[in-house]
Structure formats: C-alpha cells, structure tokens
C-alpha cells in the first residue's frame, strides 16, 4: 500500500472533508481551515475523528499512547484505505455546536410590549445633555436586559479588543472558555455564528455570541448561562441574538458620539469636558484606595509668536505635534486633554508617588524640547523652529482635595515656571529658589 504523508491542514482539507459530515462537523471543519492555528487544527481533527468513529464511518484498528497524544491506525471500510495519525488525547471538554447567523426568520419571535419599551428606553437615554452613556454602562444594561428577556441566570460580556483608553468591564474568562481563546476571537471577528452547549453537566447550558464593530474598533463575546440543560430553545436563541444586535449598535454609537463630544478634533486628544469628568473619576478612585495621583498643566511657551510669524496653520501644526509627543510620552493609564488654546492637562492615574510624577513631568518637557519642528513662513520658506513647554504639577491629596483645588495649585505653579524663564517644570514641594 502506498504511503502519502500529509500535514494536519491537508489531512482535514483533502481527507476528512471527503467523508459524510453532519452540518455541525462541516462548520467545525470550515472554521478550523479558515481561522485555525496548528493547535486549533489538531483539536478539530481530534473531534472530527472521534465523531466519525462514533458513527462508524471510520474503523479503529489500533491505538497507541504517545506522551500527551496518541497514534491511531484507522480504516475507511467504504473506500478501503488506511490512515495513521498522531492526535492530542481526547478531553472531557464540553461540546459546543456552531449555529450559523443570521438565524432562519421562521425561528424568530416577537418581544412583548414591556420588553420593547425597555429597549427603546435605553436607546432614548443614550444621550443626555452633553453626556453619552458609556460602554461600561451599556454593557451592564445589556447583561441585565438579557437576564430578564431571554431569560438566563448569568450574562457576562468579555471584551477581547477595545478602543484605546476606553473603560470597559473586563471579567476573566472561566475554565470552560479559557482553552477556546482563539475560537472566541474568531467568533468575535466574523460574527457569523454562535456557539451552543446544551449540556454542561451540573452547570446546565451555555450560549456564546460574538459582538463587535470593525469601524469603531471593538470586539468581544457574550456568554449566557442557565442551570437547566437544553434551556436555549430556538425562541431563546432568537431573543438572545436580537438583544445582542441591539446593544452592539448602541455600543458603537456610544463610541462614535463620545468621539464627537469628548475629543479635540485638531489635536486628537481629549477635550476639556472629558478631562473634567475623568478628573472626578480618578479622584474618586484615589480617595477610595487611599492612593496618590497627580495633575500636570502643560503650556506651550510663546505660542502666540508662532501664529504671528508663520500663520494660524503653522500654529495648528505645533499644537497637533505637541499633543502627539505628550501622548506618546505618558503612561497608557494616564489621560491627556487639551484644556484650551495652547494649554494641555495630564492626569497621572493612581497610584503615583511624588518623585515619579515629577520625573514624568520632566520627561514631557524634554520630549517636546527634543522634537524637531519644521514649519513654513508666510512666504512659503521652510523654517526649523524650537518649541518648548512649561509644566506645573501638583500631587493629590497634598496639593488639594478637590479638582478645583488641584487645578488652582497647578495653575499657580505654571505661572511661576513662566516667570522663571519658561521651559521648566515647577512641581508642588520644589524648593522656592
């Protein structure tokens, strides 16, 4: 008999795909070939071989242990060829079936009056004055709504990718989900199917849906649990999908609206409105945990001179470049905003000791000073300029117990830095000389 060695991917594509597969098995095969890395393809091969053996499509001739795997000698009685393959050992992991989306319209059901009213109320409260409901708040509403409408005893959203600097709840994956990380990322990326496990043993049943929006840059999975087995009927699957789709749209809208309300379009950093809300949040965190945080005011030196000499377009370029330099220099947990004009403000998230806060302030000053600025004069002549900033910094709670107190203290220090010759840092507690 001629031997033809092939890899796992080729084995699935050229051999397993030729067997009579059920709908779920075909979906598993396609997903593994489309998204799977080597371990995923091996696990898919294991599950498909076991399924074919159970249905007697294949015959097991020999089984030999090999460390954490085993070598199988298989035979196809219909086509009369043999297969030798090394596969990872079978596990007792719960079996999830893949259900393609969108669901058949015939399986969908309508909401009752109270459910529709509750969903519309959430949409109507998305914007209130100049405030947008945050993704964190929407996720909490979604989990509560799903528990009530589907119903389920537990609904948990796990963000896998979120926009930079967004504040989303991030519960850890449990033991059932953790080995499936790659599969979950594929589910959130494609959102063309849901995973259903009708029997988790003593844990009941579970449904997993992918959510996300490539345009606004977020993805995650939604895990729904109920203590009864076979809880997720076609009607409940439909309800879960419809509610998840509704909140998927609200989450993306929230992100887009926040970018309109809370971002400075010229510099790409947060604006004053966001800074004031974030400062209150960081103060609450610092107070709750008894930690210190810092507030820095960063002011571009002699900025009006750039507008006078080179025009407002050059001044805008200076603002945008300084914002980029400052943002790149801060820690990822810190917040940078444009307060107004040529003035920026940075919140150094707790915990941050005074010495570290002052080092960060000095690092910001040096980063701007070292950045080359190439501008064009009013006559179009290229000019190299040197841009510097003055920084005033204050620590919480020593420098004040409220946001207003911290701002006033830092503002006095930046005026002091300007009076002392500019391009320097003045931090609360520095020597007077």
Question: How many angstroms separate the CA atoms of 365 and 22, rounded?
Answer: 64
Short-list 225, 210, 221, 243, CA closest to 94: 225
Residue 34 burial (10 A CB sphere; 0-12, 13-18, 19+): exposed
* Residues 311 and 186 reside in one and the same domain: no
* Residues 381 and 295 reside in one and the same domain: yes
Domain membership flag for residue 307: yes
Question: How many angstroms separate the CA atoms of 427 and 431, rounded?
Answer: 9
Domain membership flag for residue 83: yes
Q: What is the number of domains present in the chain?
A: 3
* Residues 111 and 252 reside in one and the same domain: yes
**What's the pLDDT at 6?**
62
Domain membership flag for residue 239: yes
* Residues 209 and 340 reside in one and the same domain: no
Domain membership flag for residue 325: yes
Q: Which residues of 381-391 are buried (b: 16+ CB within 10 A; e: fewer)?
A: eeeeeebebbb
Question: How many angstroms separate the CA atoms of 20 and 230, rounded?
Answer: 27
Domain membership flag for residue 46: yes
* Residues 219 and 143 reside in one and the same domain: yes
Give the CB-side neighbour count of residue 212, counting CA atoms within 13 A.
24
Domain boundary among 88, 114, 141: 88
Question: How many angstroms separate the CA atoms of 205 and 209, rounded?
Answer: 14
* Residues 278 and 421 reside in one and the same domain: yes
How distant, in Å, are the alpha carbons of 48, 61, 70, 73, 82 from that of 66? 20, 16, 5, 13, 20
Short-list 328, 408, 338, 344, CA closest to 164: 328
Question: How many angstroms separate the CA atoms of 169 and 162, rounded?
Answer: 11
Short-list 46, 45, 50, CA closest to 60: 50
Which of the residues in the chain have pLDDT under 70?
Answer: 1-6, 24, 35-40, 89-93, 105-111, 113, 116, 128-130, 164-165, 202, 432-433
294 beta partners: 348, 395
Residue 173 structure tokens:
């994956």
**What does DSSP assign to residue 103?**
P
Supply the CATH number for residue 305's domain.
3.30.70.270
Question: How many angstroms separate the CA atoms of 123 and 143, rounded?
Answer: 15
Question: How many angstroms separate the CA atoms of 16 and 20, rounded?
Answer: 9
Question: How many angstroms separate the CA atoms of 352 and 186, rounded?
Answer: 38
Token pair 């609206």 in the structure block, residue = 257
* Residues 122 and 193 reside in one and the same domain: yes
Q: Are strands 127-128 and 382-385 parallel, antiparallel or unpaired?
A: unpaired
Q: Is the dihedral of CA 305, 310, 313, 319 positive or negative?
A: negative
* Residues 378 and 310 reside in one and the same domain: yes
Helix (H) or strand (E) segment spanning residue 13: helix 8-14
Cβ atoms of 380 and 413 within 8 Å: the answer is no
427 beta partners: 393
Cis peptide before 41 (omega within 30 of 0): no
**What's the pLDDT at 156?**
94
Q: Which domain holds residue 64?
A: 8-88
Domain boundary among 88, 109, 140: 88
Helix (H) or strand (E) segment spanning residue 390: strand 389-396
Domain boundary among 209, 229, 261: 261
Short-list 361, 336, 342, 335, CA closest to 299: 342
**What's the pLDDT at 81?**
79
* Residues 283 and 198 reside in one and the same domain: no
Short-list 398, 429, 397, CA closest to 413: 429
Residue 314 structure tokens:
């050059």
Residue 221: Cβ within 10 Å count: 25
Question: How many angstroms separate the CA atoms of 26 and 357, rounded?
Answer: 57
Domain membership flag for residue 127: yes
Question: How many angstroms separate the CA atoms of 295 and 274, rounded?
Answer: 15
Domain membership flag for residue 298: yes
């Amino acid at each position: 008999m001629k031997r033809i060695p092939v890899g796992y991917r080729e084995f699935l594509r050229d051999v397993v795909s030729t067997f009579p597969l059920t709908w779920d098995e075909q979906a598993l095969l396609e997903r593994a070939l489309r998204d799977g890395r080597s371990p995923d393809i091996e696990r898919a091969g294991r599950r498909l071989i076991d399924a074919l053996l159970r249905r007697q499509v294949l015959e097991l001739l020999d089984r030999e242990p090999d460390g954490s795997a085993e070598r199988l000698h298989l035979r196809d009685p219909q086509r009369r060829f043999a297969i030798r393959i090394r596969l990872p050992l079978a596990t007792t992991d719960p079996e999830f079936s893949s259900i393609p989306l969108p669901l058949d319209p015939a399986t969908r059901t309508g909401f009752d009056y109270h459910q529709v009213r509750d969903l519309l109320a959430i949409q109507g409260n998305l914007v209130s004055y100049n405030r947008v409901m945050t993704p964190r708040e929407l996720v909490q509403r979604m989990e509560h709504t799903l528990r009530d409408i589907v119903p389920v005893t537990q609904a948990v959203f796990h963000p896998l990718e979120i926009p930079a600097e967004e504040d989303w709840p991030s519960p850890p994956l449990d033991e059932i989900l953790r080995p499936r990380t790659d599969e979950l990322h594929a589910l959130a990326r494609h959102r063309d199917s849901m995973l259903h496990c009708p029997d988790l043993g003593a844990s009941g049943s579970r449904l997993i849906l992918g959510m996300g929006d490539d345009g606004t840059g977020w993805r995650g999975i939604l895990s729904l649990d109920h203590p009864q087995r076979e809880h997720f009927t076609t009607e409940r699957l439909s309800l879960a999908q419809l509610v998840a789709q509704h909140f998927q749209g609200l989450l993306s809208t929230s992100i887009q609206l926040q970018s309109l309300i809370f971002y400075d379009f010229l510099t790409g950093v947060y604006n004053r409105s966001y800074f004031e809300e974030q400062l209150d949040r960081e103060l609450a965190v610092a107070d709750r945990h008894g930690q210190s945080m810092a507030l820095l005011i960063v002011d571009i030196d002699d900025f009006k001179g750039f507008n006078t000499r080179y025009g407002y377009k050059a001044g805008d370029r200076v603002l945008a470049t300084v914002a980029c330099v400052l943002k790149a220099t801060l820690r990822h947990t810190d917040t940078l905003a444009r307060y107004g004009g040529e003035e920026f403000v940075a919140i150094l998230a707790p915990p941050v000791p005074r010495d570290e806060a002052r080092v960060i302030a000095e690092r910001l000053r040096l980063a701007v000073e070292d950045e080359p600025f190439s501008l064009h004069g009013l006559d179009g002549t290229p000019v190299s300029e040197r841009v510097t900033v003055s920084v005033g910094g204050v620590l919480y709670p020593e420098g004040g117990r409220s946001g207003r107190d911290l701002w006033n203290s830092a503002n006095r220090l930046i005026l002091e830095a300007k009076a002392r010759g500019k391009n320097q840092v003045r931090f609360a507690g520095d020597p007077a000389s």
